[in-house]
Amino acid sequence: MLVKALLSERIEAAFARLGLDGQALVQNAARPEFGDYQANGVMAAAKRAGRNPREVAAEVLDALDLDGVASNVEIAGPGFLNITVDPTFLADASAGAVDPSLPRQTVVVDYSAPNLAKEMHVGHLRSTIIGDCLVRVLEAQGHHVIRQNHVGDWGTQFGMLLTYLDETGDDSDDLADLENFYRAAKQRFDADDDFKTRSREAVVGLQGGDPDAFATWQRFIDISMSHCQDIYDRLGVTLKTEHIYGESAYNDALPGIISQLDEAGLLEESEGAQCVFLDEFKSKKGDVLPVIVQKSDGGYLYTTTDLAAIQYRTGKLKADRVVIFTDARQTLHFKQVFAVAERAGFIANDAHLEHMPFGAMLGPDGKPFKTREGGVVKLAELLEEAQERATALVKEKNPEIDATLAAELGGRIGIGAIKYADLSKNRTSDYVFDWEQMISFDGNTAPYLQYAYTRIQSVFTRGEVDVAALPDHAIAVDEAERKLAVAIAGFNDTLVAVAAEGQPHLLCGYLFDLAQTFSHFYEACPILASEGEVRTRRLVLARQAGDTLQEGLGLLGIEVVARM
Ligand code: ARG
């Protein structure tokens, strides 16, 4: 159930009846004596109407229909509404799983999207993890999600690589070798104009369907993708081979993009290149900037492919919404692509296009995250280190533990820690990658939440409780019980915000708060030492808290553990 959304809707209906304009702004109550929730929106609505906020609050209270939802509503301070929800309503709200009542959308989520022929490095970690959280949340809400891994599998870099191998006779099926060849090819490309021309021609050959070149290219793609798949599997990311829909998938559509732009009267030639000029994109000096869609040599660009992707996703796939995760440096690129697509009528289905940028991953020195030698950090090595560190920690806490079990727990804890550290930060800010912090049991970390979960489970084990036989509902009575029930009931409201904003840190913050609320409840309300109805309702609340933690962590792509 969407509790805050429901309260807001009812309050805003009362506003409408009174001819007021504004949002209800419902939040969890700042203090328990204020009830369970508070609505802060009356003051702004009254101000807009030029009226006394307390008087307006009294009218809202009269006009408000919260039958079956609230047991008490009071006016406080300058015009806050303090709401105590009905105990039965609260019991229903905290017993519910994910709310399926939202309108179902088709959503394309474009995430991860590494550039192939290179090992995956930390630059694609954030896109992979954040994107995977969003698809999980959307799917839990019942949306039809289409994952698209828009891998960089085309373009000059492949021409370079093919030309280099052709001319040196080198070959390998090992990604590390390919990466070295690529580096050498790039050096030649930058230094040698003839090589540059031959590389460009190789791309044209590839495009024209030269079977040998195509077979070699396909082999590189396969080697590279199988490496990515290993990383996805180790990370517990839901991307599979069938989700790959890379740049090369749009090759055949690119000439049509240019001709359609031409028909729409948007195409202009500038220095031999085909461009679209839109007034809203100006340089600092005030000149209108070109959006280049075809180079003077006839080659297409990243932008052209993204225009084709918009047509495909909103037309063929009938997406209502397209969400793309890349680092913030591509913000201008997507603004331009979306604006050109809009102007050219490429957006079908009235779809919403959303670029969701993220900040950089920084090292402890506050500079972009690099190896000690200044190289890019390979993801495979990072995940290895996470598992090692967490396994050591598990062994330190449980000296008697069996080595296999320690490694298994270490994997879940280490990977969970890396993911959580990333997901718990506001997506748009840069964040500092810090091993000590992420693997700590204190604070807003994955190990803290995984530990909170094991603590709840240990209540059931110690009490020899048959969890499946507990009732679904529990009516919270004591203050700490109510607070816990309200916290549990907030799950669906949180998911709505995560889905809309693509901000997993809202879910992390929610779960952290839930775990802390459970701790207070656990201290204030003895569970196993109580009896009868009291014991049962506390056990039910504990089970609901545990289920919500597990489900919430699951939506972040993090597994719970049975012990730590
Ligand atoms: N391969 C690109 C990169 O590494 C990301 C692609 C994102 N998706 C897109 N439709 N452009 O930066």
CB of 267 within 6 A of ligand 1: the answer is no
Q: Which of 326, 340, 379 to mutate to test the pocket of ligand 1 (most atoms within 8 A of CB)?
A: 326
Q: Which of 224, 330, 335, 346 to mutate to test the pocket of ligand 1 (most atoms within 8 A of CB)?
A: 330
pLDDT per residue as tens, the chain (564 positions): 889 999 999 999 999 999 999 999 999 998 878 899 999 999 999 999 999 999 999 999 999 999 999 999 999 999 999 999 999 999 999 987 666 667 899 999 999 999 987 778 888 899 999 999 999 999 999 999 999 999 999 988 899 999 998 899 888 888 888 888 888 999 999 999 999 999 988 888 888 888 988 998 999 899 999 999 999 999 999 999 999 999 999 999 999 999 999 999 999 999 999 999 999 999 899 999 999 999 998 889 999 999 999 999 999 999 999 999 999 999 999 999 999 999 999 999 999 999 999 999 998 888 888 887 888 888 888 999 999 999 999 999 899 999 999 999 999 999 999 999 999 999 999 989 999 999 988 899 999 999 999 999 999 999 999 999 999 999 999 999 999 999 999 999 999 999 999 999 999 999 999 999 999 999 999 999 999 999 999 999 999 999 999 999 999 999 998 877
Q: How far away, in angstroms, is 494 Cα from ligand 1 center?
A: 28
Which residue, among 253, 246, 258, has the nearest Cα to 340 in the 3D structure? 258
Q: How far away, in angstroms, is 124 Cα from ligand 1 center?
A: 10
- Following DSSP, what letter does each residue of 454-504 receive, concatenated? HHHHHHHHHTT--GGGS-S-----SHHHHHHHHHHHTHHHHHHHHHHHT-T
Tell me, what's the pLDDT at 117? 77
Phi, psi for 235 (deg, rounded to 5) = -75, -15
**What dotted CATH number matches 3-85?**
3.30.1360.70
The strand pairing partners of 145, in sequence order, are: 107
CB of 306 within 6 A of ligand 1: the answer is yes
Q: How far away, in angstroms, is 356 Cα from ligand 1 center?
A: 12
Amino acid in the structure at residue 347: I
Ligand 1 atom 11 nearest Cα: 306
Ligand 1 atom 2 nearest Cα: 113
Long-range Cβ contacts of 163-169 (<8 Å, 24+ apart): 163/195, 163/198, 163/199, 163/202, 164/188, 165/216, 166/202
Dmax (CA) for the chain in angstroms is: 86
DSSP state of 249: G
Phi, psi for 418 (deg, rounded to 5) = -60, -45
Phi, psi for 109 (deg, rounded to 5) = -115, 120
- Following DSSP, what letter does each residue of 331-368 receive, concatenated? HHHHHHHHHHHHHHT---TT-EEEEEEE--EE-TTSSB
CB of 492 within 6 A of ligand 1: the answer is no
Tell me, what's the pLDDT at 111? 98
Q: What is the CA radius of gyration of the chain?
A: 28
Q: How far away, in angstroms, is 437 Cα from ligand 1 center?
A: 30
Q: How far away, in angstroms, is 322 Cα from ligand 1 center?
A: 14
Ligand 1 atom 5 nearest Cα: 113
CB 357 within 8 A of CB 330: yes
CB of 152 within 6 A of ligand 1: the answer is yes
- Burial code (b: 16+ CB inside 10 Å, e: under 16) for 167-189 equals eeeeeeeebeebbebbeebbebb
Ligand 1 atom 6 nearest Cα: 113
Q: How far away, in angstroms, is 150 Cα from ligand 1 center?
A: 6
CB of 115 within 6 A of ligand 1: the answer is yes
Q: What is the pTM of this model?
A: 0.94
DSSP run (H or E) holding 146: strand 144-148
DSSP run (H or E) holding 256: helix 254-263
Amino acid in the structure at residue 13: A
For β-strands 273-282 and 288-294, DSSP reports them as: antiparallel
CB of 326 within 6 A of ligand 1: the answer is yes
What three-state secondary structure class fits 42?
helix
CA distance 543 to 549: 10
